[in-house]
Each structure stands twice: as structure tokens, then as C-alpha cells.
């Protein structure tokens, strides 16, 4: 009996990230200050500490206690707390010590998982706690203005800041002043970074000239070290080799919701879109297909790519690529410089997303 013929996959015109220039209104920026989809369902009890790393278990214990201690935080989720944000708040008591926790550790040890778990565990309605990356926080100030940002976040119980990094002196002064105002309003802080708070900015700008601001930031936090190996690669094979251009292009045309862009053109386009809009840039995209992946030419381009990699990882968007493997994106000078931890994080996350990419049968 003859074998039935299989129908060819339907081809469609793929999306293009290079054709998108998203505008993100301020109210969307505020509404989206919640854990991203990858971390929407994480909790402390879904975090699996490495048995060889006691600091991971200790971090869970410390953060659980921190969340429990926020039940009496001012600004707050008690009856009328939201109204007080607009009609006046009671005076917050002066903090007696650090009003925040700061998770310091290498990439891939689960810091974002722990930070999102803290957000979920904090006993307050979502409107009274905020979660965002450092670049999203600085863009919120740009969109709302400094005073309005203080008013908007000042009534919150908790502000979680992921990927806390200071890349320029202006950010140092801005964030130091903002967090000081929020702490004075009674807002608790939590942050993740690959750099201790007292070392922020080192190797990137003349941080000694901004020592007072950096020390002021450090005073708000109690550091918690989280040691360990990158969980994304524990016991897993190396990243899959890049595909041929033809396979990537065919996959983009036969996969619903796939985008297709040449990697050099995408890097150029990222320079025209503010990094805080990279999440909106990939709205509705289910798979990112890239051709001609090659080493990133300069530091500014590399830092923009790091932000895009973070947003793709947050939203669990697989990446299918041709050209060079992702572990060759950044040259030796970059990997040995002040931003090396960012670049290693991007390589780790893009490698994980490359493993998730699927080529339709028959390709």
C-alpha cells in the first residue's frame, strides 16, 4: 500500500526585528514592573540549591526571612495604603540598618530566580511591589521624571532590581539619589548583580570620583553571596553548532511567530532603539532566527546585545542561528575587561536559548 504523501510545511513571510521601532508609554513601563514570564511561577521551594554550595541554601533562608519581615513595612498594603500614596503617607521610621538585600554571585547561580521568589513571597498586592532590570528603572525615571518616579514607587513595599550594574557616572548619581529617597519613604530594596555594591563602576569609569555615591548605594544593602556553577550548563552538552543559512531561513518561513534578520543588520538596528524597549521589540516573537552571526565589533554594540539576550531569556524565546557559535561573540579584550561578567552571562543565556531552538522535521 503506498505511503501517503506528507504535505510541505506552509511558508509565510517571517517577522523582522529590524522593521520594528516600538514606543513604550510610561503607564506600560509601570504596569510591566513584575517578574518576566520565565520567572512568573518560580518560588523559593522551586529553587534547587547545589548541595556543594552552602551559600545557596543560606540565601534562600535569608530571603525568606526578609520577605516575612516586610509585613509591617510602611507605604503599604494595609487598608488605605494605596490612597496614602496620593493623599499623603504617614512618616516612615528612620531605618536602623540596611533596608535592602543584595545578591552577589556569578552568572547562572539562580539570582534572578531568588529575586523573583522574594517578590512573590512578599505579602503585598502586586501594585505595591515592583520588579525590573536596572536599565528599565533608569528608563522609568526618563519617562516619568525623577519626582514622579519617587511618588510612583515611594508607596511600594518592595522594589526588586535585577542586573544591577553602573555603566556610567550619570547613572551612579541618579540611582544613588533615587534609592535614597525611596528608602526614606520606607521602601525595601532587593537587587542582583555580579559585582559587590561597593565595587560598582570599577573598570568602567573613574569610580573613585563618585565614591561617595557608590558608598551611599552600598549602605542601603546587606550583601548575600551566592556561589556556584552556571546551572544552565550543569551536566548538559555543549551548545549546538550553528546551522546553515538555508536551514535558518527555511525554519523562519515555516515556523509561526518566527523572526528572521541578518545579525549585523540587527546589531545596527539595536543602536536606534533604546534598550528599555527591547522587550517590546520582541513582543509576539516565538523564535528568533539569525543569519551570519559574527563577533561583535565594539563595546557599545556588545552591551546592547547583552540587554537583548536578557530580554530573550526572560521571555523564553529560542534562538536559531547561522554563522559563528555564541561563545565567539565577544573578543578576548572584552572578556577580560570591566564588563566581562555581563558578556559571560549573555553567552550563557544565548547558549541555553540555542538549545531550545527546534528545526521542523525534514529541514
pLDDT score recorded for residue 166:
64
Looking at residue 185, which CATH number applies to its domain?
3.40.50.300
Q: What is the mean pLDDT of residues 10-29?
A: 91
Q: Are 297 and 264 in contact (CB under 8 A)?
A: no
pLDDT score recorded for residue 203:
43
Among 209, 229, 249, identify where a domain stops: 229
Q: What is the mean pLDDT of residues 271-284?
A: 93
122: pLDDT confidence band, cut at 50, 70 and 90? very high
Task: Kindly state whether residues 224 and 241 are assigned to the same domain.
Answer: no
Task: Kindly state whether residues 219 and 241 are assigned to the same domain.
Answer: no
In-domain check, residue 56: yes
Residue 298's nearest CA partner among 266, 269, 321, 329 is: 329
Task: Kindly state whether residues 215 and 70 are assigned to the same domain.
Answer: yes
Alpha-helical segments (H) within 243-315: 245-254, 263-270, 278-281, 299-314
For CA atoms 195, 101, 164, 108, give the dihedral sign.
positive
Other beta carbons less than 10 A from residue 188's beta carbon: 27
C-alpha distances in Å from residue 324, one per residue of 168, 246, 265, 300: 31, 15, 16, 20
pLDDT score recorded for residue 104:
85
Task: Kindly state whether residues 222 and 240 are assigned to the same domain.
Answer: no
Q: Are 155 and 181 in contact (CB under 8 A)?
A: no
In-domain check, residue 12: no
Among 229, 248, 283, identify where a domain stops: 229
Q: What percent of the chain has pLDDT over 90?
A: 52
In-domain check, residue 191: yes
pLDDT at 202 over 50: no
pLDDT score recorded for residue 239:
67
Task: Kindly state whether residues 173 and 213 are assigned to the same domain.
Answer: yes
Give dist(CA 12, CA 341) in Å, integer. Answer: 39
In-domain check, residue 363: no
Q: What is the DSSP string of 310-338?
A: HHHHHTT--EEEEES-GGGSS-HHHHTST
83: pLDDT confidence band, cut at 50, 70 and 90? very low
Give the chain's mean pLDDT. 82
Q: Encode pLDDT of 290-342 as tens digits.
A: 999 999 999 999 999 999 999 999 999 999 999 999 989 999 999 888 788 88
Q: Encode pLDDT of 158-185 as tens digits.
A: 999 998 876 666 677 788 889 889 999 9
Give dist(CA 146, CA 138) in Å, integer. Answer: 10
pLDDT score recorded for residue 204:
40
In-domain check, residue 50: yes
Structural domain that includes position 182 = 43-229
Q: What is the mean pLDDT of residues 228-237?
A: 62
Task: Kindly state whether residues 175 and 270 are assigned to the same domain.
Answer: no
Task: Kindly state whether residues 92 and 192 are assigned to the same domain.
Answer: yes
In-domain check, residue 3: no
- Helix (H), strand (E) at residue 226: strand 221-226
Task: Kindly state whether residues 214 and 240 are assigned to the same domain.
Answer: no
Q: pTM (2 decimals)? A: 0.77
Sheet with strand 221-226: strands edge to edge: 129-133, 158-162, 188-193, 100-105, 221-226
Q: What is the DSSP string of 142-176?
A: HHH-HHHHHHHHHT-SEEEEES----SHHHHHHHH
pLDDT at 74 over 50: no
In-domain check, residue 59: yes
Task: Kindly state whether residues 345 and 334 are assigned to the same domain.
Answer: yes
Q: How many domains does the chain have?
A: 2
pLDDT at 188 over 90: yes
Pairwise pLDDT comparison (109 vs 193), residue with the higher score: 109
pLDDT at 75 over 70: no
In-domain check, residue 5: no
Amino acid at each position: 500500500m503506498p505511503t501517503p504523501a506528507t504535505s510541505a510545511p506552509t511558508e509565510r513571510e517571517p517577522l523582522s526585528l529590524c522593521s520594528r521601532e516600538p514606543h513604550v508609554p510610561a503607564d506600560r513601563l509601570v504596569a510591566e514592573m513584575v517578574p518576566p514570564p520565565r520567572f512568573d511561577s518560580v518560588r523559593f521551594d522551586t529553587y534547587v540549591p547545589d548541595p556543594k554550595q552552602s551559600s545557596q541554601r543560606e540565601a534562600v533562608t535569608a530571603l525568606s526571612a526578609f520577605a516575612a519581615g516586610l509585613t509591617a513595612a510602611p507605604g503599604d498594603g494595609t487598608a488605605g495604603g494605596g490612597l496614602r500614596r496620593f493623599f499623603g503617607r504617614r512618616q516612615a521610621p528612620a531605618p536602623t540598618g540596611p533596608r535592602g538585600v543584595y545578591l552577589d554571585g556569578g552568572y547562572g547561580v539562580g539570582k534572578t530566580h531568588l529575586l523573583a521568589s522574594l517578590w512573590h513571597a512578599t505579602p503585598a498586592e502586586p501594585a505595591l511591589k515592583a520588579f525590573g532590570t536596572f536599565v528599565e528603572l533608569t528608563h522609568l525615571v526618563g519617562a516619568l521624571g525623577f519626582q514622579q518616579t519617587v511618588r510612583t514607587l515611594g508607596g511600594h513595599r518592595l522594589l526588586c532590581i535585577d542586573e544591577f550594574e553602573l555603566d556610567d557616572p550619570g547613572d551612579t548619581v541618579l540611582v544613588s539619589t533615587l534609592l535614597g529617597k525611596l528608602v526614606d519613604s520606607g521602601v525595601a530594596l532587593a537587587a542582583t548583580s555580579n559585582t559587590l555594591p561597593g565595587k560598582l563602576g570599577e573598570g568602567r569609569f573613574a569610580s573613585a570620583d563618585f565614591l561617595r555615591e557608590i558608598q551611599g548605594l552600598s549602605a542601603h544593602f546587606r550583601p548575600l553571596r551566592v556561589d556556584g556553577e552556571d546551572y544552565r550548563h550543569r551536566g548538559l552538552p555543549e551548545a549546538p553548532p550553528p546551522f546553515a543559512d538555508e536551514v535558518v531561513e527555511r525554519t523562519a518561513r515555516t515556523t509561526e511567530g518566527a523572526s528572521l534578520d541578518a545579525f549585523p543588520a540587527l546589531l545596527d538596528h539595536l543602536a536606534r532603539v533604546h534598550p528599555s524597549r527591547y522587550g517590546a521589540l520582541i513582543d509576539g516573537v516565538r523564535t528568533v532566527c539569525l543569519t551570519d552571526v559574527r563577533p561583535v565589533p565594539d563595546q557599545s554594540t556588545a552591551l546592547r546585545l547583552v540587554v537583548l539576550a536578557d530580554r530573550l531569556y526572560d521571555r523564553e524565546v529560542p534562538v536559531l542561528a547561522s554563522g559563528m557559535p555564541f561563545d565567539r561573540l565577544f573578543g578576548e579584550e572584552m572578556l577580560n575587561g570591566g564588563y566581562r561578567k555581563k558578556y559571560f552571562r549573555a553567552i550563557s543565556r544565548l547558549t541555553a536559548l540555542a538549545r531550545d531552538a527546534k528545526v521542523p522535521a525534514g529541514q
